A and B are shown apart, each in its own frame.
Chain A
Amino acid sequence: MSRFTRRDALIIGAGVAAGAAVGAGGGLGAAQAQATPELKLTPEKGAVLRVLRPAKFVQGDETLFLENTEKYVKQTGVKVTVDSVGFEDLRPKAAVAANVGKGPDIVYGWYDDAHQYPDKLVDVTDVAEYLGKKYGGWYPIAEKFGKRGNRWVCLPLGAAGAKMVYRISWAKDAGFDGVPGDMAGFLKLCQGLKAKGYPPGFALGNAVGDGNTWCHWVVWAFGGKMVNEKDQVVINSPETVAALEYAKQLYETFIPGTLSWLDPSNNKAFLDGQISLTNNGISIYYAAKNSSDPTIKALAADIGHGNFPVGPVGKPTELHLTVPAMVFKYSKYKNAAKDYVRFMFEREQYVPWQQASIGYWSQPLRAYEQSPIWTDDPKHTPYRDIMKNMLWPSYAGSLGYASAATLADYIMVNMVAVACSGTKTPKEAATEAQRRAERYYKV
């Protein structure tokens, strides 16, 4: 829980100045040069907004979010309180609010939440069109998450994504200058690292973020997918089996114990120098860079980031966490809420916020590819294209109840884990996943 204090309000001036400077130097003029689209949303008189957002992964994210909010409060007189809760509590809280018809006016939620209760959400098509025109358009994935039919039900604020995080010097020892772009090369890298005594480690426990990310990537890379475009379950396929065979070979190079790994496990092991390669957000780099422990701080220079290799399907198959901004219909101040959401997307707020989040949040709007954060430090750059490269959890089907249930039940992660651990053959693992998914995708 974090609330505004007077102290927060006092440091706003500095924040605004810094934000403006970043914006001006950010080379975002191009989008501005076009005729500026107009959107007139007048906040209701005496509007009071309650905003619920995910807890910060990096301090700057929250600091700037709150500073931007305070800026909005000053400019419009709308009162805003921001609460934050952990990701795990976010979905139930938002769902209960949707069900009961009472709660925060705006929720920055989880993945495909908006598709669980689209009828309870305010249509934000006008805001989406305005922002899209102004900032070079939305990525297709943003539309996938934001739109229900022709109407926008939420606006993806951005995606917190994972990339391959590795130790540069150890990869060199194994004969690699970075993460290879193909699956065969990647396997060789892992085997090389293992041979040198620096095993990789990827989470195979019920880890919402890290487990889902890499398991979906590896299955998709070979052309396996949970459902097809018609929402028919097709996970039991030769492509999936090929992916599982590959994952099994990868697993043999892992540090012991990854079957039990939850989200924080790989961060701890990486920072402790026990693993050489994992998939993670920029948080490991950030933690090292800002550590008060000199040995860990020195580690930052040796941390490299790379894209997920592209498999036989020939296109990136990444999965990242998107955060949809949803305005609830029960809100008494819908205009103010929509206006607040718009405000947070505007360049003056968004770019400094991305900057302060040190690359944790990548944009859904093309213009922000130019955000200085992506080039300030070359190590940030791989995180820039997260929303450009990502697919959605129920690829290639639709988002909704079945997809959310399938994801929450860890069907993909369990399938990969079962195959890796060898308790079942890849074929058996795929058959079991098919059966489990079919329960949710029944007619």
Chain B
Amino acid sequence: MATVVREAAIERRESRLARIFDHPTVLSVIFMLPAGLLLTLFLTYPLGLGIWLGFTDTRIGRPGAFIGLENYISLFGDGVFLLSVFNTLLYTTVATVFKFAIGLWLALLLNNRLPFKAFLRAIVLLPFIIPTVLSAIAFWWMYDTQFSIISFALVEFGLIDEFIDFLGQPNAARASVIAANVWRGIPFVAICLLAGLQTISPSLYEAAALDGASAWQRFRHITVPTLMPILSIVLTFSVLFTFTDFQLIYAITRGGPINATHLMATLAFQRAIPGGQLGEGAAIATAMIPFLVAATLLSYYGLQRRKWQQGGKDD
């Protein structure tokens, strides 16, 4: 009799413990805790600190005081900052358009039955594999006013008489760094879109072909809508990478000539680290956030809307 009572008590205790752990709220909190801690430590804290620094006049080697919006007000009166915002928007827009146009085209090509398919796909990835700084230095030589291989080749072929001043004129320099960024960004877009293309069931195309759809119609009404979800993700990432680009510019132009290629990221670095103005640098970096959030929302929610995907209009 006594044994039975004791056993029942143990059972009750166990079940209470088990019940607590079985409770969905408790369980989910426990499971999310490690991830939550990691995110707080490595993402929320640095981001929060950066935003906070933007509201201070911190210098390298000296903690700052809270100065409210002073950094931002001062930046809006600063021609170089405004120029960097313009450069960044231009750089991101033009580079993204080209990356997607060429990337999609490449993905479509690679999706066909080709000889040496695996080999070709590996080659496409090459620009992505090479460390950015190395490819940037290669571009720096290719764009060199005195030693450019491009100019050299064109002169040898008799197509031009003088070496091209790739990086010495503002617009030429912008075009040059955008081209370098496009070259570097295409593989990412192409490979991601190729992955997306391969998930499209061939039976859809077969059905469409039976219905007499042309190649363009198949692309327009099957490929594009089915590719949209992955396209929106890739677009989001690509815009983020391009908008925050630093290495290419830093290695090729340092933001020159006369700040024509300074992006917000390079300007933030220049002001914060070599210039010692941590607060102002942080403010420039923080000023990138609204643009990034807007771009993310647009591509993520906008392009994922079912109606848009199916070619419909808003209600």
Contact = CB atoms under 8 A, between A and B. Distances in A.
Is this pair of chains taken from one and the same complex? yes
Interface of A: 88, 91-92, 95-96, 98-99, 116-117, 120, 204-208, 255-262, 265, 268-269, 272, 274, 401, 404-405, 407-410, 414, 417-418, 421, 423, 432, 435-436, 439-440
15 contacts: A204-B256, A205-B253, A256-B145, A257-B145, A257-B163, A257-B165, A258-B168, A259-B256, A260-B167, A261-B145, A405-B277, A414-B259, A432-B79, A436-B78, A439-B78
**A-B residue pairs, 8 tightest by C-beta:** A257-B145, A117-B61, A260-B167, A408-B275, A206-B254, A95-B60, A205-B256, A259-B257
**Interface residues of chain A: helix, strand, loop or mixed (majority):** helix
A267 to B, nearest CB: 11
Given A117-B62, A259-B257, A421-B258, A408 B147 contact: no
A418 B258 contact: yes
A253 B162 CA distance: 16
Interface stretch (B42-50, B200-208, B266-274): B266-274
Residue among B80, B169, B256 with the most chain A CB within 10 A?
B256
Contact of A260 (B59, B61, B62, B253): B253
B310 interface: no
B163 to A, nearest CB: 7
B198 interface: no
A184 B146 CA distance: 28
Nearest to A257: B145
Given A116-B61, A401-B276, A421-B258, 16 more contacts: A95-B273, A116-B62, A117-B60, A257-B146, A260-B253, A260-B257, A262-B256, A265-B144, A268-B146, A401-B59, A405-B271, A408-B275, A417-B256, A421-B257, A423-B170, A439-B78
Give the one of A96, A260, A418 with max B CB within 10 A: A260
B255 interface: yes
Given A417-B258, A423-B258, A265 B146 contact: yes
Contacts of B146: 255, 257, 265, 268-269, 272, 274
B273 A257 contact: no
A257 B273 CA distance: 28
B270 A409 contact: yes
B166 interface: yes
A108 B162 CA distance: 44
Contacts of A274: 146
Nearest to A401: B59
B271 A409 contact: yes
Contacts of B257: 204-205, 259-260, 417, 421
